[in-house]
Structure formats: structure tokens, C-alpha cells
Structure 1
Amino acid sequence: MWLTMPVLHESVFRTTDLPVDARFEAWAERMGRTHAPMQLTSDHTADYRGRQRVIPLGDVTVWPATFDHLVFRRTAKLVRQSDPEVYHLSLLLKGEGAADWGRRQAAYRVNEFHTNSSSRSYDIHTGPEPVTMVGLEVPRSLVAVPGHRADQVIGRHISGREGIGALLAQFLLHLVSDTSAYQPSDAPRLGTVAADLVTAVFAHAADADLRLPPESHGRTLALQIKTFIGRRLGDPDLTPAGIAAAHHISRSYLYRLFQAEGLTVAAYIRDRRLEHARRDLVDPRLRSLPIRAVAARWGFPRPAEFTRAFRGAYGVPPSELREQALTEA
């Protein structure tokens, strides 16, 4: 007789399991329960897409997630009202994000850890593209580093590619890749391992030279500019000059920010517009919307120009792509 061993418990939450108009509110509530109460806003509230797994490991929680653009705001009032007293770390796997604690800012890229504390107020915003990350919540009491020293690590860059950060990253990635190999009794032991690794990461970072590199300010600004652009893609008059003026920088500095990522401002705007147009064209709910209206919606007032740009990006004219997508739907 074969016996099935119990496996490590985990829960899965998907906004797509809910009615469209309930998705963002449900995601905001979920995030508040996962970490701490926050104010959330997004450019995608009309149809928010997010998926989260929650894996309890005793007092420690691991939560892999993928979600649309999001702005997290934890105010001093919210901290006073409810503070679970946890350190949060998230390993960024796809997308980008930035955080602001008032006097300190930091921007994060793939394979870097974002560090935070539920006891502090902050603003965090992700880039315009969906983010994939692995979150980790560890009670402050389990991090064996003096509080004032551990707090110095908040907002610092910790690589998930090398050193102790890589050990923590490998542990998290291996854990979330397949939890079926673990039994419920393993959960507190795995939580202890996670807390010990976080302690090692914090202790190492607190002992290092932790001055914020100057390029981090540029990366934070670049992400803010991308968010600004994402909210104005439908404006055909969106130009580098206007973007630079809105952020009180010169056009040459704007160009340098994008060149550091191998991009040009114009190409970034065009590609983002085309991506949104393509998404609308393959959406069955928008099949009655004329192609010229889709083009105008995303900043292409001249249909011929839109068709040329679309064909150059996707290899087929917009009408053909729409026909293929709706036929397969």
C-alpha cells in the first residue's frame, strides 16, 4: 500500500480568478496582509493582473509573485497603527523598481535584493512592465544583528549574484521552484535557515562600506521617467524636451540616462506604444475598435506611420496580426 506523504503548505492567489472590477482591491488587501498595511495605486487598476504564492515557514514567510505596475506607500500613520515588526527582502527576477525613504533612495535591477522594514515609512514604485520577485518576511527578533546596525542596511544594494547574497538567493530560488519535496515539519527548520541567512547578509552589509553609489540616483530617476512616459503614451506630443522639462533636467542628461541602458528615448517611447497597441489588437474585447482608433489611442495619429512602425516591429501589418489572434481565440 502506497502512502502519500503530506507536503509543505502553500497558498496561491490570482487576480484573474476574480471579476475584473474586484481585482485591484483584492490585490491591495493581499499585499497588506502579506507584509504590512499600505496604500497602493497602479496604472492598471481597471484590470489588474497579479499572482502570488505564500509559503509559511514557521514565523518566516516566503512569497513569490508576479504583478503589474504598482506604487506602495507606507505612511508614518500606518506604521503607528500597525507594525508587524518584520524585515522584508525581495529578490527581483524580472522588471525594475525604486524605493524612497525620504533621505535615501535606491533603484533595483534583476538579481538584486530590495531590503525594507515594516517599522519605517516609504514609497516604492515598480517600472511600467510587470515585476517578478521572491519576497521574504522575517521577524526583526529573528535577525541576530543589533537593531541600529540592521536598520543601516535598509535601502542598500545587495547582490543576489555573489557573496552571501547569492547564498540567500539560491536558497529562495531552490525552495520556491518545488515545495513538494518538503514536509510540514520542515517548515520551521527552513524558516530558521532563511533567518540565519538574512542575519549573515545584514551583518556582512553592515560591516561593509555602504555608501550609496552615485549611479543609483540616475537609475532611480530613469525609472521615474519611464513611469512618467508610461502614463502619457497616448499623447502624440510626448517629446524628449517635454520629458526633460517635467523632471527639471537637460535633454542631454535625459539622453545619457537612457544611453546607460542601451536605449534611446524615442525608441523607448515607440516600442512601448507599439507594445500597448499590439495588446489591444489581440484583445477579443476590443475587436470592434478600429485599428486607426487603437493607433491614435497610443500616440500614433497617422495610420500609415503606425502601420509602417508596427510591421517593422512585428513583421506583419496590424490588420493581419489582429485577424490571426481573433481566429485563434
Structure 2
Amino acid sequence: MGFTVYDTADLPPEHRFEWWRETVSQGAGPTSITSDHPAGFNGSMGVLSLGIAQIATMSFPTMRSERTPRLIRRSDPETYELTLVLDGSMGVSQARREALLVPGHFNLWSSSRPYSSLGTGGPGAEPSRAVVLHLPRALVPLPEAKVDRLLARALPSATGVGAVFARHLGSVVEEAATFTEGDGQRLGVLTWDLATAFLAHHLDASDRLPPHTRHQLLLTRLDLFIDANLADPYLSPPVIAARHHISVRLLHRLFAGRRETVAESIRRRRLERCSADLVNPVFSALPVHAVARRWGFTDAAGFSRAFRTAYGVTPREHRLAPETARACLA
């Protein structure tokens, strides 16, 4: 599977803006969109369906969008749209509130309430860019009256739950072409859980989240921590548990549903990094043992045995095999 990408550059200039308006309205409900420069409008979007969730990427020049009461009466998909601004700025208005969003801000809006926005490109007339997650409102396991308090607010993504959620969306977009149908379904559930946890965090309503959602958010944090600390030779279950203020027993229980233990997960990820570095021309002059040490292996012989068990060849054979090298860099 992968993104279905639409680009106005594939259309005659005179049809681009009208096509954009119709495409946006199909996804978010009838929307009035205007632009100071509709002729030759340049916009693109990518759409990825993940079962319970749908992610869209958007790139567009300065434009105004509005959902009026009349348009809502015409059709309402009854969704929340959770938008992460990547480039440019966006002024939004809904539920008698206004906010100015800059890169790194999330914004939540409801298709069932009047809404308006003005997206402005970055310096040098660069287009605005955003990632949008479509959430069927009826499936959000939080009180609607409380969730609506977040409408038209700038919700940051620099730290904490927001950072975890933003990185997840970025990773899904980046790796979309590699997903199988099963991957998409599983990632849809994970994306949904993280979105719910993000909203609950800003509502101080984490205690209302289903247990599996809280556990999934914690697992995501653990994965990010492990990936960021693979070079530390002392990375271990007790260290990971202590840094996240949980018991080692709970850590192992969280990993119980996976095919590998915590230690196996650390070793696999380290081996994957070493495998990639060994065939990367940037590290061609670095001895094998130095590559291993870069990713937390302090015992050269132990690393060689683990690598051969995982890949069927020694690290040196892997480095010298042109076909293997090309496959690992692809």
C-alpha cells in the first residue's frame, strides 16, 4: 500500500483550483475555499487509509477555507480533523475562539461547527504544508463536550505526548510505501490510540483512556527511547524501566504481546543499525569493531556471533558482498 498522491500540476491550469475545492470538500465536507491567485493554483495532497484512521498530507499556497452553517446542513461527515502544521502559518476560528498556528502546532476542528481558516505560506512565498488526521467523532472515547474545548487552540508538539504523536505521524508518512494491508490496519489502531492519548493529555483526562490506549502510548515512548539510546552500552531493561518510572516487571509485560523480549528488541535494532553502517560508504574506513561500538556492542566476538546468527554471514562478509550492500542501502 502507500499514499495516493494528487497534484494540481497534472491538470490544465484553468481546472486546478476548482479540482482542489471539490477534492477538499469530498474529504472534510462541503467547504468554501477562496484564493487570491486561483489561476494556475499549485497544490498537492497525499491520502493514506489506515482502516480506522485516515492521514492526509497537504501543500498549498495562501488560501481561505470556511464551513458555514448552510454548508454543514448540506453535508456533515461528523469528524474531528487534527492538523499538524509543518510549514507556513494558519489562522483558525471556531467555537468563538481564534488561534494563530505556526510550524509544530496541532489544531483540532470539528466538521459540525462553523469554521474558518487562513493558511499563509512561509518566507519567499513557500507553500503551507500540513498533515491532517481524520477522526470519526463518534469513535473518540472522550466526552464530546470536553474535546470541543480544544477547538481552535494551538496545541504544541515540541515535547511529551505531542512530540511522540508528531514523530509517529511523520514516520507513517515517510514509510507508507513499505506497508502491507495488515500493517495499515495495525498502524491505524496505533495512530488512533496516540491521537486519543494526545487529546486526553490536553484535557487532563488520561484516566478516561482505555487501558490498551495508555499501554500503547507507553510502548511508543519506550520504542522512541530505545531507538534514541542504542549507542549506550548500558541500555538494559532496568535502565529503561527506571527512566520511565515503571517496574521491570511491567516493562516485560508490555512487551509480552510482541515476538521478542526487551533485550532481543535492543539487540535486533542494534544489529540493523550495524548492518546498514557496514555497507554505507560513509563508514567504509571504519573497522568492523568500531561500527559495532557505535551501536552499543562492546564485545567484538559477541557482536560477530550475534550478527552471523541474525544474517547468516559474518560482519566482514556482509560488508564485502556487493549485492548484499545494495540491498541494505535500497
One-letter identity of the residue aligned with 2:88: G
**Percent of residue pairs bearing the same amino acid type:** 35
1:13 maps onto 2:10 in alignment? no
Q: Which residue of 1 aligns with 2:34?
A: 41
One-letter identity of the residue aligned with 1:151: D
Root-mean-square deviation (CA, aligned residues, Å) is: 1.4
CA deviation vs aligned residue, 1:121-155 (integer Å, no higher than 9, x gap): 11100115410111110111221111111111111
Q: Which residue of 2 aligns with 1:170?
A: 167
Measure, in 2, the Cα distance between the counterparts of 1:25 and 1:165: 35
CA deviation vs aligned residue, 1:166-210 (integer Å, no higher than 9, x gap): 1110110001012122101222221111111111111111129xx
Measure, in 2, the Cα distance between the counterparts of 1:76 and 1:59: 27
1:110 maps onto 2:103 in alignment? yes
Q: Which residue of 2 aligns with 1:323?
A: none
Any conservation in 2 of the 1:94–1:110 contact (CA below 8 Å)? yes
1:199 maps onto 2:192 in alignment? no
Q: CA deviation at 1:93?
A: 0.8
Q: CA deviation at 1:29?
A: 0.8
Q: CA deviation at 1:42?
A: 0.5
Q: Which residue of 2 aligns with 1:158?
A: 155
Any conservation in 2 of the 1:142–1:195 contact (CA below 8 Å)? no
Measure, in 2, the Cα distance between the counterparts of 1:109 and 1:127: 10
Any conservation in 2 of the 1:143–1:198 contact (CA below 8 Å)? no
Which structure 1 segments of 5+ residues have no match? Answer: 1-7, 209-329
Any conservation in 1 of the 2:87–2:130 contact (CA below 8 Å)? yes
Judged with a 3 Å threshold, the aligned counterparts in structure 2 of structure 1 residues 52 and 93 are, in CA distance, closer, same or farther, namely same
For CA contacts below 8 A with separation 6 or more, give which structure has more relative contact order.
1
Any conservation in 1 of the 2:30–2:75 contact (CA below 8 Å)? yes
Find runs of 4+ consecutive structure 1 residues off by over 2 angstroms: none
Measure, in 1, the Cα distance between the counterparts of 2:177 and 2:10: 24
CA deviation vs aligned residue, 1:87-132 (integer Å, no higher than 9, x gap): 1011111100011126210010001112111111111001154101
CA deviation vs aligned residue, 1:39-87 (integer Å, no higher than 9, x gap): 0001120110001110011131101121111100000111122111111
Query: Relative to structure 2, which stretch is displaced further, 199-208 or 141-150?
Result: 199-208
- Give the TM-score normalised by structure 1: 0.59
1:185 maps onto 2:186 in alignment? no
Any conservation in 1 of the 2:32–2:65 contact (CA below 8 Å)? yes
Q: Which residue of 1 aligns with 2:120?
A: 127
Measure, in 1, the Cα distance between the counterparts of 2:195 and 2:5: 25
CA deviation vs aligned residue, 1:203-248 (integer Å, no higher than 9, x gap): 111129xxxxxxxxxxxxxxxxxxxxxxxxxxxxxxxxxxxxxxxx
Alignment equivalent of 1:64, drawn from 46, 57, 63: 57
Measure, in 1, the Cα distance between the counterparts of 2:26 and 2:13: 21
- Give the TM-score normalised by structure 2: 0.59
Alignment equivalent of 1:93, drawn from 86, 89, 98: 86
Measure, in 1, the Cα distance between the counterparts of 2:101 and 2:10: 30
Which structure 2 segments of 5+ residues have no match? Answer: 206-330
Measure, in 2, the Cα distance between the counterparts of 1:125 and 1:193: 31
SS in 2 for 1:45: coil
CA deviation vs aligned residue, 1:247-299 (integer Å, no higher than 9, x gap): xxxxxxxxxxxxxxxxxxxxxxxxxxxxxxxxxxxxxxxxxxxxxxxxxxxxx
